[in-house]
Structure 1
Amino acid sequence: MQNRTMRRRTALLAAAGATLSGPARACGPVQDLMPSFWAAYDALPPGNAVDRARALIAAYLQPNIDAYRAAGIARVDVAAWLPRFDPVAGTVRSLSQRLSDLWCARLAQFQRLLPDAEPDVPATAFVSFLWFDGRARSVQGRMALFLGLDMIVLLHGEEPGPLLDHERFHLYHHQVNPSLIMEGGDPLWLGIWKEGLAVHATALLNPGTPRVTAFMGDEMLASMDAAVLRRVAAELPTQLDATGLAERSRYLGYGYRGTIPARSGYVLGLAIVERAAQGRDLAALARIPAPEIAAIVRRELAAIAQG
């Protein structure tokens, strides 16, 4: 089974590489809040973090509060954030200066693989105050992408291309599959499928790269062994319909600390997607309706748990 999966994965990556050589459409601009952030940050008074935080809130955060609310960012402790941000400010500045070109290059590659993808992607770049690196979120009835450059640098360095691919695919997934919008939020089975399919898409968008690239540089996820995967798969069935933060954090949360690896649901999701692909290309996988996804996840989890 493993050899067949590897052969299928190699064939898909080769096909993606051929597809990526085609023409691309123009990309829409990122709503970039970083120039206003840098203007405020560079003008901060010397002194303690509390005084600097108050100045940054007044000059930058309050004028841009609507964007932060749209991104789902609630309370932030700017005074605690500043000492963590200051050492990486230079790297964040470098990334912010070239983000527009990087974003357009990644979108061009994305549109070659998935020509039906919308070229105009609502995207906002700012500092997320360490809430997230990238987040796809519904805003006024349309999925939008928010990029937290501070968290991107801390997690991914100055080369976040695979992260941009991953997050862009989430938007595409919702674009072509309205059944994903669920009242009350995503149940865990849907979150696992979404993340696994986004990892699969990232692998196709980066053909010839190591497995860790698809996991956005996370070596622990890329090297998770079959025994851990079986153990996590065995405990999941009773949790699959949960929509609460605790369950999502255990299987999908970056900051989870507990008895299983953080974001183990990403690895399980990829395993489920690869087992369920059965000749479907990426566009077809993205269009599987939610009720069928639920059945696939339950069936494949049971098979993985049994080894």
Structure 2
Amino acid sequence: MILVTLMAVALAVQANPTPAVPHENAAVVVTSADFTSHTAAFTAFVDETATMPEAERVRLFRARFNALFPGFYQPHGRTEAEYDATVAAALIGFPAIREKYTAASDAFAQAFTTGQTRFLKTFPDYELNMPVYLVHSLGQMDGGSRTINGRNVMIFGADVIAKIHDETTIAPFLDHELFHLYHATWFPDCDALWCSLWQEGMAVYVASRMNPGASERQLLLTIPEPLPAAVNPRLREAMCLAHAKFDATEQADYAPFFFGRPSGGPFPPRFGYYLGYLLAQKIGTTMPLTEMAHMPPAMVRPLLEKAIAEYGACPPPAKG
């Protein structure tokens, strides 16, 4: 059962609650110096508006939750109608995940604290440098950093955590996400595809090193299907495809490697995570983990190209 075992050791966040939104029936926001949870506000809204017509319910949700967490509950590239449909689906579907969502929410604060303690043992110079939010993400994410209204924040989605994580995956998942925060100090975001190969590959590799014997599922390499089984028979082809797109910056090039939705390409969604992991693993045979984490982009790129070349020569790029 999702996070039930973890809940046995979880503690509530210790903080003085403050009103979530300016509404007499609003839930409270649980906060600490670096952690804010808006998950109870979503549950309270679902209960409060259960009999409301859908269009009015969605309108009220958008008004109230944009005030609660300004900048997050926005279409972000979708049309207004598409976003309204996303909100409606999340509200209608909530009863089916409510128990697991509540368990994930209740367990998360202590799990995150424990995760940071573990992470410091591997990377003693780690420091949390942005606020952390736990929300109902409307199906967007289990975790990741975002820039919201010009501010860098870490966001975890209790709804997606409830669907895809359990007590066996939560530690590697947090190791993965905490590494992204840590890694950004030395390897800032860049648009080229090779940058994401390194960033995501390193995060998977670090999770594997911090959790010896972790399964493909624990390393999130089975979403939406087992990536190694799908990629390994054509591994050289996959690596050459990555090399051909090495400097690509367009979303159309990036999406097949790292997005979770089908792209119509020759490999399954998110296969770039697996390629990046294999490349980081290969480079990891030549240097300590901390040294890898501290490498700037100028050092990383040639090492990635060399590692890809070890899988075999790639055909020359097509002309025209």
Shorter-chain TM-score: which interval?
0.7 to 0.9
Partner of 1:155: 164
- 1:173 and 2:183 are equivalent in the alignment: yes
Aligned in 2, Cα 1:55/1:138: closer, same or farther, shift over 3 Å? Answer: closer
Find the aligned partners of 2:89 and 2:156 in 1 and give their Cα distance. 21
Give the drift of 1:234. Answer: 1.7
Partner of 2:256: 250
CA displacement, residues 263-290 of structure 1 (integer Å, 9 cap, x when unaligned):
1111111111111123422211111110
Q: Root-mean-square deviation (CA), in Å?
A: 2.8
2:114 to 82, 96, 105: 105
In structure 2, stretches of 5+ residues that fail to align are 1-31, 315-320
Is the 8 Å Cα contact of residues 71 and 146 (structure 1) preserved in structure 2?
Answer: no
Give the drift of 1:109. Answer: 0.7
Find the aligned partners of 2:150 and 2:295 in 1 and give their Cα distance. 21
Partner of 1:284: 291
- 1:213 and 2:218 are equivalent in the alignment: yes
After TM superposition, the structure 1 = structure 2 runs for residues 1-307 of structure 1, keeping only pairs within 5 Å, are: 29-46=34-51, 48-59=53-64, 61-68=65-72, 76-77=83-84, 78-119=87-128, 121-138=130-147, 143-157=152-166, 160-175=170-185, 177=186, 179-182=187-190, 186-215=191-220, 218=223, 220-258=226-264, 259-306=266-313
What percentage of residue pairs aligned between the two structures are identical? Answer: 25
Aligned in 2, Cα 1:196/1:147: closer, same or farther, shift over 3 Å? Answer: same
Higher mean alpha-carbon deviation, 70-79 vs 240-249, is at 70-79
Find the aligned partners of 1:140 and 1:57 in 2 and give their Cα distance. 17
Aligned in 2, Cα 1:279/1:100: closer, same or farther, shift over 3 Å? Answer: same
Find the aligned partners of 1:293 and 1:140 in 2 and give their Cα distance. 31
Higher mean alpha-carbon deviation, 47-56 vs 237-246, is at 47-56
Amino acid at match of 2:254: R
Aligned in 2, Cα 1:226/1:45: closer, same or farther, shift over 3 Å? Answer: closer
Is the 8 Å Cα contact of residues 125 and 149 (structure 1) preserved in structure 2?
Answer: yes
| Greater relative contact order (CA < 8 Å, ≥ 6 in sequence) | 1
Higher mean alpha-carbon deviation, 289-298 vs 136-145, is at 136-145
Amino acid at match of 2:192: P
Aligned in 2, Cα 1:35/1:69: closer, same or farther, shift over 3 Å? Answer: closer
Find the aligned partners of 2:76 and 2:94 in 1 and give their Cα distance. 21
Partner of 1:17: none
Aligned in 2, Cα 1:278/1:209: closer, same or farther, shift over 3 Å? Answer: closer
In structure 1, stretches of 5+ residues that fail to align are 1-26
SS in 2 for 1:66: coil
Find the aligned partners of 1:225 and 1:236 in 2 and give their Cα distance. 12
Find the aligned partners of 1:279 and 1:213 in 2 and give their Cα distance. 25
Partner of 2:23: none
Is the 8 Å Cα contact of residues 163 and 216 (structure 1) preserved in structure 2?
Answer: no
Give the drift of 1:167. Answer: 1.1
Give the drift of 1:170. Answer: 0.5
Find the aligned partners of 1:143 and 1:70 in 2 and give their Cα distance. 16
Give the drift of 1:195. Answer: 0.6
Give the drift of 1:143. Answer: 4.5
CA displacement, residues 209-263 of structure 1 (integer Å, 9 cap, x when unaligned):
3243223654612434532322211222221111121111111111234221111
Aligned in 2, Cα 1:266/1:285: closer, same or farther, shift over 3 Å? Answer: same
Aligned in 2, Cα 1:117/1:124: closer, same or farther, shift over 3 Å? Answer: same
Aligned in 2, Cα 1:105/1:222: closer, same or farther, shift over 3 Å? Answer: farther
Higher mean alpha-carbon deviation, 228-237 vs 40-49, is at 40-49
Find the aligned partners of 1:64 and 1:71 in 2 and give their Cα distance. 16
SS in 1 for 2:72: helix
